[in-house]
Amino acid sequence: MEYTILRLYRFISFTLLACVAFSAFGQSLEDLRKHKEKTASEIEYINTLLKETNSNAKASLNRLSVLEKQIKLQDILISNITGEIGYLDSSINQNIIRIDSLSIALQSVKSKYAAMIRYANRNQNNNNQLLFILSASDFNQAYKRFIYLRQYADYRRKQADKISLFKNSISEQLLEFNKRKDEKQRLLTSKVNQTVIIEQRKKQQKDVYSELKKKEKDLNSKLDSQRKTELRLQQLIERVIADEARKVSRKSSKEKGFILTSEEKLLSGDFSNNRGKFPWPVQRGIITDHFGEHPHAVLKYVVMRNAGVDITTQANAKARAIFKGEVTKVIAIPGGNIAVIIRHGNYLTVYSNLSEVFVKAGQQVEGKEEIGNIFTDKNDDNKTVLKFQLWRENTKLDPEEWLKLM
């Protein structure tokens, strides 16, 4: 009897611990699934970008960058699927332990119930029960025997109910077990499919790289033109910054940076407080060139320097302001289309490679307000790229540290 109670106690303790574990796991699984769905959505978007590119221009730096981004996302997706499979393995094992524990408890209850049935069969004659009561030595004892018989009958009913409860619980656990097994099998199939896709993308990436290596002379020529365009843009931005600094006379020659009005100080504070929370300057896109210095994707010994980030998006996409501010300049850059500079107190955001603009200098804009169409290069893989920069006075900042995750 004591051994059976101990086993039941252990079962109840395990069940409570399992519930706590499942609660913690539940959150983890939900996060995994959300992340997986988000990654799958990004991969689907990249597929859309790849379909938009010119089929006759299979090899381009932009296409190489997009494929690299997709391969990274495929790796993340496979990791998410692996994490889900690990969770399901744990869940399946817990289902097995629960079923075993419930089966042990059920067998114990059934054994007790069978013993009671055998006892009842031997004493099922109502006369025996009546004689048992009447043979009492006094009224109190007779009453106690009457109560005992009632409690015994009630106990039998409860044991029968407990058997039904255990059977139902085992059935539920078996259903959950089979559900988890089916889900795991679907994930294993998905993982195999994603592994095949990533190998295909790696082959495409290798083919594009090989084609680009054959065009190093052309790439060097394009790189020289790109650097000249970026240098002109940088000089124009620095000129704007110098103009802003000269707008207000200074009390001391030792002062540096912009002199701000009270409203501009508040705007700068609001801008600074939103670091990591800003909406993207496009509705949707992927970063295909990052801030700062990094090796060229194809040309050896060539270091690329980006004053901001390049965001590849879909054709006909529009650039939008990431925060409220005043349009300081709208400038046409030879070889670089049109750029818009917006001032937010002592912060500046720059949106370049626009084919058309909807704003003018001196105009106040709001966050997410559309400011122009992004140029689609028909001669270079139909790529649509917004070049976005962020400055604090005369200091370049990494936009990725300020924009929220897509």
Quick one: 69 and 202 in the same domain? yes
The domain tally of the chain equals 2
Does pLDDT of 127 surpass 60? no
Does pLDDT of 32 surpass 70? yes
Supply 12's token pair: 């109840």
- List pLDDT tens digits, range 56-71: 455 677 778 888 888 8
Quick one: 26 and 167 in the same domain? yes
Cα Rg, the chain, nearest whole Å? 36
Quick one: 118 and 244 in the same domain? no
Quick one: 33 and 147 in the same domain? yes
Q: What does the alpha-carbon distance between residue 162 and residue 108 come to, in Å, rounded to a whole number?
A: 11
- What DSSP character marks residue 278? B
pTM of the model: 0.65
Report if residue 406 sits inside a domain: no
Quick one: 299 and 389 in the same domain? yes
Does pLDDT of 385 surpass 50? yes
Q: Across the chain, what does the average pLDDT equal?
A: 76
Quick one: 14 and 162 in the same domain? yes
Q: Which residues of 252-290 are buried (b: 16+ CB within 10 A; e: fewer)?
A: eeeeeebeeeeebeebbeebeebeeebbbbbeebbbbbb
Domain extent, residue 21, equals 2-212
Quick one: 254 and 369 in the same domain? yes
| CATH of residue 315 | 2.70.70.10
User: What pLDDT is stored for residue 154 in this prediction?
Assistant: 67
Quick one: 235 and 300 in the same domain? yes
Quick one: 203 and 296 in the same domain? no
- What DSSP character marks residue 367? T
Average pLDDT score over residue span 184-206: 86
- List pLDDT tens digits, range 206-249: 888 777 777 777 777 777 777 787 788 788 877 877 776 665 44
Domain boundary among 192, 212, 232: 212
Quick one: 308 and 360 in the same domain? yes
Q: What does the alpha-carbon distance between residue 283 and residue 289 come to, in Å, rounded to a whole number?
A: 18
Quick one: 12 and 127 in the same domain? yes
Does pLDDT of 13 surpass 60? no
| CATH of residue 184 | 1.10.287
Asked if 279 and 368 count as a contact pair (C-beta separation under 8 A), the reply is: yes
Does pLDDT of 400 surpass 50? yes
- What DSSP character marks residue 317? -
Asked if 330 and 338 count as a contact pair (C-beta separation under 8 A), the reply is: yes
